Structure 1
Amino acid sequence: MAKGVMIVAEQRDGALRKISLELAATARKLADQSGDEVSAILLGSGIEGLAAQLGNYGVDKVFVGDSQAMEPYITEAHATVVAKVVKDNDPAILLLGASVQGKDLSSRVAAKLATGLATDCTDVKIAEGKFVAVRPMYAGKCFGEIVTSSSPAMASLRPNVFPAVENAKAGTVVKVDAAVDAASIKSKVLE
């Protein structure tokens, strides 16, 4: 049975992006309501040292895919590894940033998981035992509440909306296989 809240942390040039800390703190808030665990997926090369920072924001377990195949960011490679980690761990909720990278990645991961995706959310909560995502509609004139029946419930959160609140927890690190078949990568980063 699906349990816990998982985030996909973003890093660039060996530093966590602010949205990752916002996601971690928001996931901790959601998990505390149900007594669940918070986990994170962190992909890149030479990034294992960043896992402890996520623990400071409430992440209990960090799945680290430290591989040359994960740097630079390439959609196909990241989506494949993220989807595998999610399938192997079965979280109830999966949160990503609505950043440039997160918008690119979230739709591909949702497709690989055959689940719904609430995009560009400005609030998330647990109401009556269900995950509820709130997003602006009609150019911000109103807000819609999205309750998904798919699992995991998946949402991308708008950057700079959620506070990055420190929570003095020390997370554990779990190494994951981030090897990807080079033939499956059709994109190429030129610069």
Structure 2
Amino acid sequence: MSNNVLVVAETQGGALKKISFELIGEGKRIADQMGGRVEAVVLGHEVAGIPEPLGHHGAEKVYVADDPVLANYTAEGYASVLARLVKETEPTLVLIGATTQGKDLAPRLAARLAVGLASDCTGFEVQDGEFYITRPIYAGKATATVTQATKPYMATVRPNIFAPPEPDTSHDAAVENIPADIGDIRANVIDMIKEAGERIELTEAGIIVSGGRGLKAPENFTLIEELAGVLGAAVGASRAAVDAGWKDHSYQVGQTGKVVTPTLYIACGISGAIQHLAGMKTSKYIVAVNKDPDAPIFKVADYGIVGDLFKVVPVLIEEFKKMKAEA
């Protein structure tokens, strides 16, 4: 078995998702400790331009399975191609993003390889050739350090935990095409139809506007949605708002939801519980709107507005509309 780390890159709309670069950076750090190298694999159709940025971010080699049968993701098809590659290349560690697709793919791949899987991981350490993997447990109230008795080690990694490395355009990866023989699969995706007005993915958003229990009622989330619409932002929610049934769990920002690192994070009516702060405190700029001057959210905020959000947010909406009209 080699000392290499294999990263399963993920694409969306013909471009690499940010998690792919995060995994390359962390994979390279781990591989360097073991005297190996980080490699990546891309699956899809018409993905000829995808390997180059992976090389610029540190991948030494990129395996490419480019075939019409891989144009639309299926767990069976992707797992079949990846299982064959892992058996042939024998990496010590396989990293997959803990995205919707990654959470579906990783268990299927682990089952095909008859190995263990650590899910939603947030840290990796190498000691005497063994991996020790950190992951949250008990709804994020504690963390556990685990290892695996089987190899290769496999893990899904929570997005936005590791910073992507700075690209080096002088560094190119070797590219190797691999067969896309997916064998007999029980389901085949014929087409993907994107819904009109599909919302921005939280973990990929540059601006996020989140609401909490300070909104008082689920219908008041229209204020948050309107502000987000003006800014071209994603909509998020605190755990309290999600637990109250005001928003689906997919909107939740925090240790037990999505960990985000946008350029701008606007928190409206969110007091700032530890679990929520853990999911957004690394945002570049944080703006908090809360009527309680002692709310913990203000301790991490770059800009704070102490006031009634039902008065403050409409003013922000109008001011941003004016700025857009004048631009």
Structure 2 length as normaliser, TM-score? 0.56
Secondary structure of the residue aligned to 2:27 is: helix
Larger Rg: 2
Equivalent in the alignment of 2:254: none
| Whole-angstrom distance in 2 between the partners of 1:46 and 1:172 | 18
User: What amino acid is the match of 1:142?
Assistant: A
User: What amino acid is the match of 1:72?
Assistant: N
User: What amino acid is the match of 1:82?
Assistant: L
Q: Is the 8 A contact 2:123 2:133 kept in 1?
A: yes
Q: How does 1:137-152 map to 2 (within 5 A)?
A: 137-152=137-152
Moved over 6 A (4+): none
Equivalent in the alignment of 1:176: 178
| Whole-angstrom distance in 1 between the partners of 2:82 and 2:9 | 11
Q: Is the 8 A contact 1:58 1:166 kept in 2?
A: no
Secondary structure of the residue aligned to 2:49 is: helix
| Whole-angstrom distance in 2 between the partners of 1:164 and 1:73 | 25
Q: Is the 8 A contact 2:60 2:174 kept in 1?
A: yes
Equivalent in the alignment of 2:101: 101
- Tell me the percent identity: 39
| Whole-angstrom distance in 2 between the partners of 1:65 and 1:131 | 29
Secondary structure of the residue aligned to 1:6 is: strand
Secondary structure of the residue aligned to 1:120 is: strand
Secondary structure of the residue aligned to 2:102 is: helix
More strand by percentage:
1
Q: Tell me the alpha carbon deviations over residues 135-183 of structure 1, each in whole angstroms, 9 at most, x when there is no partner.
A: 01111111101111211001000011111012533210000001323x4
Q: Is the 8 A contact 1:67 1:179 kept in 2?
A: no
Which structure 1 segments of 5+ residues have no match? none
Alpha-carbon RMSD: 1.3
| Whole-angstrom distance in 2 between the partners of 1:104 and 1:189 | 19
| Whole-angstrom distance in 1 between the partners of 2:131 and 2:172 | 26
Question: Size of the alignment, in residue pairs?
Answer: 190
| Whole-angstrom distance in 1 between the partners of 2:85 and 2:9 | 13
Q: Which has the higher contact order (CA 8 A, sep 6+)?
A: 1
Q: How does 1:30-109 map to 2 (within 5 A)?
A: 30-109=30-109
| Whole-angstrom distance in 1 between the partners of 2:84 and 2:166 | 29
Structure 1 length as normaliser, TM-score? 0.94
